[in-house]
Amino acid sequence: MCGIIGYIGAKPAFPILLSGLKRMEYRGYDSFGFRVLDQNKEPFYYKKTGKISLAAPELLTMNVEGNIGHAHTRWATHGGVTDCNAHPHLDCRGGISVVHNGIIENYKDLKEELRREGHLFVSQTDTEVIAHLIEKFFDGNLECAVKKAISYLRGTYGIVVISKDDPNKIVAARSGSPLLIGVGKDEFLVASDPAAVIANTKKVLYLNEGEVATITPENYFIFTERQPHEIEWNVEDVEKGSYPHFMLKEIMEQPNSLQNSLRGRLVVEEGRTQLGGLKSVEERLREIDRMYIVACGTARYAGLVAEYMFEEYAGITTKVDAASEFRYRKSTMDRKSAVLAISQSGETADTLAALRDAKSRGILTLGITNVVDSTQARETDAGVYNHAGPEIGVASTKAFTSQLEVLALMALYLGRQRQLSNVMGQRIAAELAAIPDLVARTLKCDPLVKELAAKYKKCDNMIYLGRKYNYPIAMEGALKIKELAYIHAEGVAAGELKHGPIALIEDGFPVVAICPSDSVYEKMISNIMELKARGAKVLAIATEGNEEIAQIVDDVIYIPKTLEMLTPILSVIPLQLFAYHVAVARGSDVDKPRNLAKSVTVE
Ligand code: AGP
């Protein structure tokens, strides 16, 4: 990938362009080039093979005037490493100048057509085609010509364009290659990397996909070419229908919402996924070795499940932060890191703030959200939609299980990019494909859960216990009963019980133990015995067919067997229903619990 920088402002452009290139040399260093506009004479135009750091001493002796310019350090994609192939590239008349990061896939066809129209090419690059395409549409207004030209491009580009015939501006456009605007004092910079602008300003704004920016010495204007999209929901989706509450409706429609989240994304026989929303960053994802997940509330618990998934199946070190805490971290992120934001609404202020913090550091940003074209969807470099349908109940249910499912798809995607075998991929894909039916089977526990809710509705305190993949589900179950029935509950890692929380246990103390037949089952049984020895009342979530546990605990709700990493999608269902029925029994406003809001758009 190449380094791009543009400058427009009160100071001489050349020294700033030179120091910016030096800071981006790591992005590509087989050649470099400059073009600086000077209203008193011909533009300064210089480009050469070699490293900018080695050429800098000679360059600094050059007397280059003019306060508008751009520069580029190249990592060759099309055309050899030669002075001629270095950027910037010009049009026939030497008026328009382009620097580019990315690959234009249809440049050959465009070049042929432009040649037929009389354009003369001097380089072997794809970038030069952009300069001549802009020339073709140029009628004195540079941004209009750029907007027309980019509509013909296929591939990826981050471009910075200047012209001596419309000299008092810089035009930038991005699709697939990041570009940011640095907002300084009486000056603006445009770059592909924050490292290039940090000496002048820390105030940056990343262009979104498809945006075109016009930057003058006084201000910048961003043009967004956004087409309206078709809302995939129907009016029935936002009505309760025959259900007493949206929350119950949304719990019960999870087989359908989970089917929708999977649609078109699984290739079971090949043990792989296809996630179109990650295509533009596919190669960068192959390189990452650390994933930072940022989210709030229930979405964060989905991230905590993914922490185990990504490490176990993709071998990627994963760290989950409450989005509101992420900004306090001393960043250890680097170019092999990615930040993944998870948000049902795509509008949660804390999550967006964390995302923007990551973007300002030039870190690859990914997102999972349930709302098409939401702020998060527009601000991440790439992402995956849940397609779970509108979630009206304030307490997140179907969005949460959809997040777990999409995260499992991402774990499979990342794993297959790495060492995950075809056989294991097929196993995961087959188990994922069966999830909607297994959830439908799990929902048959509703009458039993409603009965049990009557037994627990007078509790003031509860502990939820889980280990490994189900520890986050213990926290999610506790959150559900808190936010719906206003019962104080705590999700505890079962191994942590004896390090303090067990002091709370007394005769009749209610504990929910998530205890499927998985790799930590025996340890969970030991914890349950410790609880029973102290008089606790234990409600277990266990795997169908496990008769042993029914002899040990007070109540059992069974879930079907599945892959350990997918059990959270099933084990959370009884906990959603349990919280719902306890809340109804206690007279809470289930769809609008006190003090809460569906989308927390304030920090
Ligand atoms: C979920 O039951 C809660 N209402 C809350 O924790 C929610 O998950 C959190 O506010 C995050 O919302 P988001 O997914 O829209 O970002």
Question: What average pLDDT does this structure show over 285-291?
Answer: 96
Rounded distance from Cα 393 to ligand 1 centre (Å) = 11
Of ligand 1's listed atoms, the one at least distance from the Cα of 599 is 15
Give me the catalytic one of 48, 319, 455, 598. Answer: 598
* Residue 602 pLDDT greater than 90, yes or no: no
Cβ distance 292 to 307 under 8 Å? Answer: no
Rounded distance from Cα 342 to ligand 1 centre (Å) = 10
Closest-CA residue to 134 (of 167, 179, 89): 89
Rounded distance from Cα 302 to ligand 1 centre (Å) = 11
Instruction: Respond yes or no: is residue 296 known to be catalytic.
Output: no
User: What pLDDT does residue 331 have?
Assistant: 83
Taking only Cα atoms into account, the Rg of the chain, rounded to an integer number of angstroms, comes to 28
* Residue 534 pLDDT greater than 90, yes or no: yes
Of ligand 1's listed atoms, the one at least distance from the Cα of 369 is 14
Nearest CA to ligand 1 atom 9: 297
Percent of the chain surpassing pLDDT 90: 76
List residues near ligand 1 (CB under 6 A): 296-299, 343-345, 348, 351, 394-396, 483, 596, 599-600
Question: What average pLDDT does this structure show over 367-374?
Answer: 91
* Residue 233 pLDDT greater than 80, yes or no: no
Rounded distance from Cα 245 to ligand 1 centre (Å) = 18
- Whether cis (ω within 30° of 0) applies to the bond prior to 88 is yes
pTM score of the predicted model:
0.68
Give me the catalytic one of 2, 144, 296, 459. Answer: 2
Instruction: Respond yes or no: is residue 598 known to be catalytic.
Output: yes
Nearest CA to ligand 1 atom 5: 297
Q: Return contacts of 397-400, CB within 8 angstroms, 24+ apart.
A: 397/247, 397/250, 397/251, 397/254, 397/576, 398/250, 398/251, 398/253, 398/254, 398/257, 398/258, 399/298, 399/299, 399/344, 399/370, 400/298, 400/299, 400/301, 400/302, 400/344, 400/476, 400/572
Question: What average pLDDT does this structure show over 233-251?
Answer: 83
- The dihedrals phi and psi of 389, each to the nearest 5 degrees, come to 85, 165
Nearest CA to ligand 1 atom 3: 395
> Residue for token digits 């960068």?
284
Q: Identify how many contiguous H helices and E strands the chain contains and give both numbers.
A: 18, 25
Q: Retrieve residue 558's tokens.
A: 């069974």
Of ligand 1's listed atoms, the one at least distance from the Cα of 395 is 2
Rounded distance from Cα 467 to ligand 1 centre (Å) = 23
Model confidence band, residue 1 (pLDDT cutoffs 50, 70, 90): low
* Residue 226 pLDDT greater than 90, yes or no: no
Closest-CA residue to 183 (of 354, 8, 35): 8
- In single-letter form, the type of residue at position 214 comes to T
Model confidence band, residue 79 (pLDDT cutoffs 50, 70, 90): confident
Nearest CA to ligand 1 atom 2: 395
Least confident among 225-239, 308-322, 327-341, 441-455? 225-239
- What confidence tens digit (pLDDT) does each residue in 138-193 have? 999 999 999 999 999 988 899 999 999 999 999 999 987 888 999 999 999 999 88
